[in-house]
Structure 1
Amino acid sequence: MKQFSITIAGGGSTFTPGIIMMLLNHQEEFPIRRLCLYDNDRERQETIARACEILLKERAPQIDFGYTVNPEKAFTDTDFVMAHIRVGKYAMREKDEKIPLKYGVVGQETCGPGGIAYGMRSIGGILEILDYMEKYSPDAWMLNYSNPAAIVAEATRRLRPNSRIINICDMPLGIMVRMAKIMGLSETDLDISYYGLNHFGWWTKVKDREGNDLMPRLKEYVKENGYDINIETDQHADQSWHETFKKVRDVYAVDPDTLPNTYLKYYLCSDYVVEHTDPNYTRANQVMEGREKEVFTAARDIIQNNTAENCGFQADDHASYIVDLARALAFNTKQKMLLIVPNEGAIENFDPEAMVEIPCIVGKNGYEKINQGRIPQFQKGLMEQQVSVEKLVVEAWIEGSYQKLWQALTLSKTVPSASVAKQILDELIEANREFWPELK
C-alpha cells in the first residue's frame, strides 16, 4: 500500500497532538511515510513538536518526522496539507468575542462580528499556505479546516478558483455522532441529506443503512432534549457545550421539518446568547484556561520525562473525518462526505456562486456534488442574507474597502443596526491593525 507524506499547517496548535494520535490510529488504512509540522510561530510549535517527536519515536519510528518554520522544507514532497491555522491565536479570539459583547451583540469566533474579524485575519494566511503548497508540491491536496470556514472558502473560490483545496468542517459530524448515539447506532450507519452554509445548515433526511427513516424518532428526542446526551468521551463535555446542545430545542421549534446545526442559535436566538454570556469571561478564556493549558502541560511533561508513555495526549476522534477525506482522495473510496463547495445548481433555487455545505462523493479526482433540490423560503432567506455577509467580507479584504466591511456587519443577522455595526467595526479595526489589510 502506498505511504503518504503529510504537512500539518498550524503545527503549534493545541489540536495538532490529537490529529497525530488519530493518524497513528489509522496507520493500517492510511500509512504515513513522512510527517512535517509547519508554523510561523517557532517557539509555540517547538513545544508541541518536540513532544510529538518523542511520541512518534516510541509508537511509529518508521515515520520520518520533522518540524520547521521554513515553507520550502515544509511543503516540498507532500501529498496532503492539513491546515488548521488560527491567525492571531487565542488573544485575538478573545477580542473577537468581547468587542461585540460591549455593544450587546453576539461575541463568537465564527458568527457575527467576531467571525467577520477572524475571517479578515484568516484569508491571507490560508492563501499564503495554499501558494506554498502549489509552488513546492503542485499535485498535493490541501484539506482546510481552518475557521471561519465559510469566509475562507469564499476567498479561495474567488482568488484561487483552480487550486486543489477542499474545505471541510467537523461540526456536522460531531452532531451526527450524537444523532447516532440517540438512535443506538454508529455515525457510519447514517445516510443523510443536508444543505446550508458552513455553521449554518439543516438536515432534511437521516436514514440508517437499511433505508429506515430515523427523522421522526430524532425529532421527538430533539424537541425535548436538543442534541444533549451523555457521551463519556465527548471532547465538548464542558458546560457551555451542554447548554449549546440543549438550546437546539428552541432552534428546532422554528422549523420542525428539519434538524438544525447548533450554530444557528447565534442567529436565531442572539438575544438569549448575549444575555447568557459573561462579557468578561468568554469561550476564549475557557479554552485558554482549559484546553490550552492541558495540552501544553502534557507536551512539557513528555519533553521533561523524555517519554510519551501514559501521556495526556488523546486522539481527536472527530478529526477522523480528515483521514476519511484523505483516504477517499488517495484510494478513490467514493465516500459520502459533507464538504463546503461552489453551489453551481446543487441547491437549485440558491445563488450558484455561493459556497454551500452539502453531501458529496469523494474520489481520486476530487468530489461530485449530490443535488439537494429546492429549499424552503425560510432557509433560503436566511442563507441569502448570510452568504451576502460572507461575500462582502471577502470583497472588503480584496479591495481594502471600509464601506463593504461596514455593509457586511450591518447585514449580519446578529447586528441590530448600521450605527452599532460601525461602532463595532471601528473598534475591531483598531484591534486588528497588525492583521487586516488597511481599509479605506
Structure 2
Amino acid sequence: MKSIKVVTIGGGSSYTPELVEGFIKRYESFPLSELWLVDIEEGREKLEIVGALAKRMVEEAKLPIKVVLTTDRREALVDADYVTTQMRVGQLDARIKDERIPIKHGIIGQETNGAGGMFKAFRTIPVILDIVKDIQELCPKAWLINFTNPAGMVTEAVLRYTDFKRVIGLCNVPYGLKNSIAHALDVPINDVSLEISGVNHHIFVTDAFVKGESVLERVIEHQMEKSEEALQMNNFSAETYSPHFIKGLGYLPCPYHNYYYFTQEQLDSELEEYKEGRVRGEVVKKLEDELFELYKDVELKVKPKQLEKRGGAYYSDAACDLIDSIHNNKQDIQYVNVRNNGAIRNISDNSAVEIACVITNDGPKPITVGELDPRINGTIQTIKSFEQMVCEAAMTGNRELAIYALSINPLCSSARVAELVVDEMLEAHKEYLPQFN
C-alpha cells in the first residue's frame, strides 16, 4: 500500500488536535502514514507542545502514524500528498491590532470581515503564494487544503495569481449550517445536503434537501418560528433575525451576515468591549494560553473538550472528510471554496466561490447554482468586488487601492475613515507587509 503523507503548515495551532482526531477516526479509509507538523521558529514552543499531544493521541489510538515536528517547511513538503494550511501571520497580536484599530475609528474590527479581514489577507496572501511555489517544486501533485482565514480571499489569490490548480479553501460555516438544519428537522445529518450560494463568510443556503427532497420551506418556517434561536458561532455574539426578515429573504443567511444585517448592533457591542479594555482576540489569547496548559499535561491523550470554545468546531470533520473523499473518490457533496467555472452565473468564471461540490479524486466539481436571486446578488457582488481588490492590493502593495476597497465595504462608515484606518494599520503591521513599504 502506498504511504500517505500529510503536511500541516501552522502545526503549532491550537486547532491541530482537532485535525489529528479527524485522521485517527478515519484511519480505516484513510490510512495516514506520516503527519508533518510545520511552524516558524517563533512558534516552536507551541509546536512542540501540540506535537507531543499529537504523538500521545496517535499512541493512545495504537495506530502506526509517524508524527514529525519541524520548522523546515521545504524539508516537510518533499513528496507530500496533501498540504493543509492553518496559520496566522503575526500571531494573535496581529489579530488584536486588526480588531482594536478599526473600532477606535468607529468601525467594526473583525478577524475575517471588513478592515480586519483585509489586513489579515494582506499579511497572509504573499506567504501562501510562497508556499504554493514550494509545493509546485517539491510535491506538485499534492492538494493544498487551506483553512487559513480569510479562506475565500486566500483561494481567490492562488487561483488568480498562480497557475496552481490543486487548491481548495475550507471553512466550517457550511458544515455548521448543515448540522443546524439536521437538528432543526430532527433528521440524521448524512441525510441532509445543501445548495449554498456566495463567497466565504458571505453565503446563503438557497436550498436544502433531505434524501434529495427540497425542504427549504420547512427550514425557513422553522427559523421564523424559532426566531429567538440566533444563527451564531462560538467566536461572536449574534443578534436574532425577525420572522419578517427571514420570510422576506426567503433563504437562510450564514452567521457572519450578522455583521452586515446588524451592523450597528455589532458595532455597539464591540465598542462596549473596547471601552472595557478587551477585544475578541484578547479573549482568544487567554483561551489559547489555557488550552496550551492543558496540552502540556502528559496524561492528556485526546482532544480536550475546551477546544470547542475556540470557534473551530467541525474543522476536523470538514477537513478530514474532504481529504478522505478526494483520496477515495467518494463523489459525495461537500462545501468548499473553488474556482467558479460558471456555477454561479453572476460571478466571473475564474473567481473563488463557496459552493456545494461533488468531491472526486480529481478534486471538487462545483454544482451549478445558476443566476443569483436579486435578494442576495447585490450583497454578494459587493463582497466579491471587495475581495478582488484586496487580493490585487495584497499583490501590488497599492495603498490607494486598499483605501478604496475598504471604502466600498459595508462595514466601513466613510472614505475618510477608510483612509485613516488603512494608514494606521499599514504602520502597525509594517513588519509583515513588505509589499507596501
1:117 aligns with 2:119: yes
User: Which deviates more, 54-63 or 403-412?
Assistant: 54-63
Could you tell me which residue of structure 2 aligns to residue 354 of structure 1? 351
Return the alpha-carbon distance in structure 1 between the equivalents of residues 10 and 248 of structure 2.
Answer: 38
- Alpha-carbon contact 1:298-1:311 (below 8 Å) kept: no
List per-residue Cα deviations over 1:12-65 (Å, max 9, x = no partner): 100001211121111112111111100112222122112222332332351111
Q: Give TM-score, length-normalised by structure 1.
A: 0.91
Could you tell me which residue of structure 2 aligns to residue 208 of structure 1? 210
Could you tell me which residue of structure 2 aligns to residue 183 of structure 1? 185
Could you tell me which residue of structure 2 aligns to residue 137 of structure 1? 139
Q: CA deviation at 1:250?
A: 7.7
Return the alpha-carbon distance in structure 1 between the equivalents of residues 35 and 153 of structure 2.
Answer: 28
Counterpart secondary structure, 1:406: helix
Could you tell me which residue of structure 2 aligns to residue 336 of structure 1? 333
**1:308 corresponds to which of 300, 316, 341:** 300
1:342–1:185 distance in 2 versus 1, CA, 3 Å: same
Could you tell me which residue of structure 1 aligns to residue 421 of structure 2? 424
Counterpart of 2:131, as a letter, is: I
Q: Give TM-score, length-normalised by structure 2.
A: 0.91
Could you tell me which residue of structure 1 aligns to residue 28 of structure 2? 28
- Alpha-carbon contact 1:17-1:48 (below 8 Å) kept: yes
Q: Which runs of 5+ in 2 are unaligned?
A: none
Return the alpha-carbon distance in structure 1 between the equivalents of residues 146 and 52 of structure 2.
Answer: 24
Runs of 4+ displaced beyond 6 Å: none
Q: CA deviation at 1:282?
A: 1.8
Could you tell me which residue of structure 1 aligns to residue 289 of structure 2? 293
Q: Across the two proteins, how many residue pairs are aligned to each other?
A: 426
Could you tell me which residue of structure 1 aligns to residue 44 of structure 2? 42
Counterpart secondary structure, 1:276: helix
Could you tell me which residue of structure 2 aligns to residue 223 of structure 1? 224
Return the alpha-carbon distance in structure 1 between the equivalents of residues 82 and 15 of structure 2.
Answer: 17
Counterpart of 1:161, as a letter, is: D
1:227–1:358 distance in 2 versus 1, CA, 3 Å: farther
User: Which deviates more, 352-361 or 80-89?
Assistant: 352-361
Q: CA deviation at 1:430?
A: 1.2
1:130–1:208 distance in 2 versus 1, CA, 3 Å: same
Q: CA deviation at 1:252?
A: 4.9
Could you tell me which residue of structure 1 aligns to residue 396 of structure 2? 399
Return the alpha-carbon distance in structure 1 between the equivalents of residues 115 and 244 of structure 2.
Answer: 21
- Alpha-carbon contact 1:219-1:256 (below 8 Å) kept: no
Counterpart of 2:130, as a letter, is: E
User: Which deviates more, 254-263 or 60-69?
Assistant: 254-263
Return the alpha-carbon distance in structure 2 between the equivalents of residues 285 and 55 of structure 1.
Answer: 29
Counterpart secondary structure, 2:433: coil
Return the alpha-carbon distance in structure 2 between the equivalents of residues 359 and 173 of structure 1.
Answer: 11
Could you tell me which residue of structure 1 aligns to residue 67 of structure 2? 65
- Alpha-carbon contact 1:3-1:30 (below 8 Å) kept: no
Return the alpha-carbon distance in structure 1 between the equivalents of residues 293 and 172 of structure 2.
Answer: 25
Could you tell me which residue of structure 1 aligns to residue 83 of structure 2? 81
Q: CA deviation at 1:2?
A: 5.2
Q: CA deviation at 1:127?
A: 1.5
- Alpha-carbon contact 2:136-2:164 (below 8 Å) kept: no
Return the alpha-carbon distance in structure 2 between the equivalents of residues 162 and 311 of structure 1.
Answer: 34
Return the alpha-carbon distance in structure 2 between the equivalents of residues 50 and 201 of structure 1.
Answer: 37
1:49–1:251 distance in 2 versus 1, CA, 3 Å: farther
1:252–1:153 distance in 2 versus 1, CA, 3 Å: farther
Counterpart secondary structure, 2:33: strand
Counterpart of 2:213, as a letter, is: N
1:274 aligns with 2:267: yes
User: Which deviates more, 252-261 or 414-423?
Assistant: 252-261
**1:382 corresponds to which of 379, 382, 395:** 379
Q: CA deviation at 1:353?
A: 3.4
Return the alpha-carbon distance in structure 2 between the equivalents of residues 360 and 165 of structure 1.
Answer: 14
List per-residue Cα deviations over 1:64-107 (Å, max 9, x = no partner): 11110012321113211111111111111111111111122111
Q: Which runs of 5+ in 1 are unaligned?
A: none
